[in-house]
Structure 1
Amino acid sequence: MIGNKEEIEITVKRRRKYLIIIAIIFMMNWGLFSYVDRLLGPVNTLKSEDKVIEVEPGSSLVRVSNKLYENQLIRSPMAFKFYIKLKGLATEIQAGYYRLNSKMPATEIAEKLVGGQVATYSITIPEGKTIEEIGQILAKHELDKEKFLSLAENKEVVFIKSNSKVKYNLEGFLFPETYQIPYGANEEEIIDIMLKEFERKISLLKDEIKESKYNLEEIITIASLIQAESKLDQEGPLVASVIYNRLNKNMKLQLDATVQYSLSKRKSRLLYSDLKVDTPYNTYKNYGLPPGPINNPGIEAIKSALDPKKTNYLYYVLTTDGKHRFTESYKEHLQVQNRLNNK
């Protein structure tokens, strides 16, 4: 009995010893992980400061961690590296620009870097802007306007037929839209984004284009004329009807917008001498369509070019309320002009 009692006491003591050791190990691990967890927490929980950080291609985990620390985005490079390696993500960080802030925990920052959630900025291209005007917009975002214009003039695209007479190969095909552009994207990459959006939008109208007697370049050219001439979407199909009616009657289009495109600088009012400018874009001198689009039209103008109103209109004039008055004969056209001039 005595022996059994002693054995029980020894066993109890051993268990207590083991429990104490386990408790100590647990407390040490808990303390370690608590410490690491604190180091992985946000640098600043009160003030949020956005920073755009570049992770260059081929950057090591050490280099990325140090850059984050230097920019006061993580508390500890060592803790960040420990977390990344623990998760098995050391080779998963993707190159690019990232918008991060001091209120993000290191775990969230790691998620962005591994997920390739690159930073973007917004660029809005309004409907009807020309290539040169788009170049000016891009220049405000510190992009090279001249490089963009050179690419727009010479870049060849599979779905655009080559035409030596056009001013810019890509005029008409950079779809007007608000784009989220990845930081660091160059001029050609931005062009590719716009061309891809054009392809996406135009693919929705492929059946209508197939049924038209005009090819894609001609449709976009007509759409650009509609975009330039009509400020109201509801007038687009009517302006389209005038263009098609004149083309069908082999009449000169005589559109001021094509002359404006021909000039080196846009004028608030065209002079009679401007209408004589010698260029294939001048529809006062030349029959038919200009050699290519004169701006980058929006989807409503393109739809109008594909589905014009059925009318006999051949003329229109801008009225004082910003709308157009459409007429079938030159006599009616002159009468409308006289009434407007006498107001």
Structure 2
Amino acid sequence: MLATKVLKRIGILLVLVLFIVNFALFNYGRQLLEPVDYNLTQEDKLVEIKPNTSINGIGEMLYQKGLIRSPFSFRTYLRVKDLARRVQAGHYKLNSGMSTPEIIDKLVRGKTANYTITVSEGARVEQVADLLARKGFDSDKFLELARTKDLEFLPERDDIKYNLEGFLFPNTYQIPYGSSERDVIRIMLNEFNKQVSPLEEQIEASDYDLHEIVTIASLIEGERKVAIEEPLIASVIYNRLERGMRLQLDATVQYSLPEHKSRLLYRDLEVDSPYNTYKISALPPGPINNPSLSAINSALNPAETEYLYYVATTGGYHEFTKTYQEHLEVQQRSNN
């Protein structure tokens, strides 16, 4: 009877010991999954996971970078959750304030690190190249691709400065880390196709092809200061083209010069360039910037006017006129 009581007590004690040990191990294991540093202001570290890297290799790398507490716990968590095969290669921004499950969630969802790049409306290819250079891309390589890249929807041309000018659609892009200059071009061209494809029927119904419409849109973009005037500027361009008049647009002179000027001089208007519409009696050979969708829409839907001239006034607006005499009078008033 006494022996039975002793054995029963020993059994209870063993169960209690096992419970305490398991509880301790559970707590220890849970602690190993917690953030290395609870400071929420930790800076992100850029981590590259290459294709076919083993789970062991990933865990060790994260441990060496001070991002996880234990490679073993990292591997164990992945296997218990059946996530080991779902980790995706790529570049990731991680920090030591993230728990191991949070890090694994990013790796499994493929939430890779991106560059945020904003191409402004009316930006030129060279300005896009400078923007990319600040993110670590090779601007010379980008410009070379911009000259020679064969557009899928347009033939490559030898008479223009950049084949890509006009087709790097203005937008804010999330460019994955590790992307090449060619990848960036592909992303921007895809965005152009996505935005402009709904206008395909309008373009086909017009008297101009896609390249010419984008060229006209770039002239509108280069000349206007306020978007509301885009259809009016479009009307002046078309009215002049129909009459065989030179467009005489300052924006084309700026494109022809080696660097932008805050104010053009009369001698600048004589620059020898196929883009200088003070010297040619037609459209320039290609776009002079990357126009917005609204400028492209204005090129397809100009206002119906008889305007042939406009003069800049206050607040970025223009005063539009039908005759040269009216144009001179507006100029005189503006100069007084």
1:42 aligns to 2:24 (yes or no): no
User: Hey, what's the Cα distance between the residues in 1 that align with 2:314 and 2:21?
Assistant: 82
Contact (CA 8 Å) 2:148, 2:156: kept in 1 or not? no
Name the structure 2 match of 1:158: 152
Equivalent residue in structure 2 for 1:60, among 54, 59, 63: 54
1:224-243 mapped onto 2 (5 Å cutoff) = 224-243=218-237
Name the structure 1 match of 2:64: 70
User: Hey, what's the Cα distance between the residues in 1 that align with 2:317 and 2:331?
Assistant: 13
1:176 aligns to 2:176 (yes or no): no
User: How many residue pairs end up in the alignment?
Assistant: 335
User: Hey, what's the Cα distance between the residues in 2 that align with 1:265 and 1:48?
Assistant: 42
Contact (CA 8 Å) 1:48, 1:102: kept in 2 or not? no
Partner AA of 2:291 in structure 1 = P
Of the structure 1 ranges 269-278 and 212-221, higher mean CA displacement relative to structure 2 is found in 269-278
User: Hey, what's the Cα distance between the residues in 1 that align with 2:4 and 2:193?
Assistant: 79
Name the structure 2 match of 1:116: 110
Equivalent residue in structure 1 for 2:257, among 253, 260, 263: 263
Name the structure 2 match of 1:149: 143
Partner AA of 2:87 in structure 1 = I
User: Hey, what's the Cα distance between the residues in 1 that align with 2:31 and 2:101?
Assistant: 11
Shift of 1:79: 0.8
1:322 aligns to 2:316 (yes or no): yes
**Change over 3 Å in CA distance of 1:311–1:17 after alignment to 2:** same
1:82 aligns to 2:76 (yes or no): yes
User: Hey, what's the Cα distance between the residues in 2 that align with 1:238 and 1:14?
Assistant: 99
Name the structure 1 match of 2:100: 106
Name the structure 2 match of 1:129: 123
- Tell me, what secondary structure is at the counterpart of 2:315? coil
User: Hey, what's the Cα distance between the residues in 1 that align with 2:9 and 2:242?
Assistant: 102
Name the structure 1 match of 2:205: 211
User: Hey, what's the Cα distance between the residues in 2 that align with 1:73 and 1:102?
Assistant: 5
Partner AA of 1:292 in structure 2 = G
1:274 aligns to 2:268 (yes or no): yes
User: Hey, what's the Cα distance between the residues in 1 that align with 2:11 and 2:323?
Assistant: 105
Shift of 1:321: 3.2
- Residues 211-243 of structure 1 deviation map (CA, whole Å, 9 limit, x = unaligned): 222111111100000000001000000000000
Contact (CA 8 Å) 2:115, 2:135: kept in 1 or not? no
- Tell me, what secondary structure is at the counterpart of 2:173? strand
Shift of 1:251: 1.1
Structure 1 runs of 4+ off > 6 angstroms? 9-23
Partner AA of 1:95 in structure 2 = A
Q: Which runs of 5+ in 2 are unaligned?
A: none
User: Hey, what's the Cα distance between the residues in 1 that align with 2:7 and 2:281?
Assistant: 105
Shift of 1:208: 2.4
Partner AA of 2:50 in structure 1 = E
User: Hey, what's the Cα distance between the residues in 1 that align with 2:197 and 2:168?
Assistant: 15
Of the structure 1 ranges 216-225 and 40-49, higher mean CA displacement relative to structure 2 is found in 40-49
Of the structure 1 ranges 265-274 and 155-164, higher mean CA displacement relative to structure 2 is found in 265-274
Contact (CA 8 Å) 1:48, 1:101: kept in 2 or not? no
User: Hey, what's the Cα distance between the residues in 2 that align with 1:237 and 1:119?
Assistant: 40
Shift of 1:278: 2.5
Partner AA of 2:60 in structure 1 = N
Contact (CA 8 Å) 1:261, 1:294: kept in 2 or not? yes
1:223 aligns to 2:217 (yes or no): yes
Of the structure 1 ranges 50-59 and 172-181, higher mean CA displacement relative to structure 2 is found in 50-59
Shift of 1:33: 2.9
- Tell me, what secondary structure is at the counterpart of 1:220? helix
TM-score normalised over the length of structure 2: 0.92
User: Hey, what's the Cα distance between the residues in 2 that align with 1:17 and 1:217?
Assistant: 89
Name the structure 1 match of 2:188: 194
TM-score normalised over the length of structure 1: 0.90
1:305 aligns to 2:299 (yes or no): yes
Q: Which runs of 5+ in 1 are unaligned?
A: 1-8
Partner AA of 2:301 in structure 1 = D
User: Hey, what's the Cα distance between the residues in 2 that align with 1:138 and 1:332?
Assistant: 45
Name the structure 1 match of 2:333: 339
Contact (CA 8 Å) 1:161, 1:217: kept in 2 or not? no
Shift of 1:151: 0.8
Partner AA of 2:89 in structure 1 = A
- Tell me, what secondary structure is at the counterpart of 2:48? strand
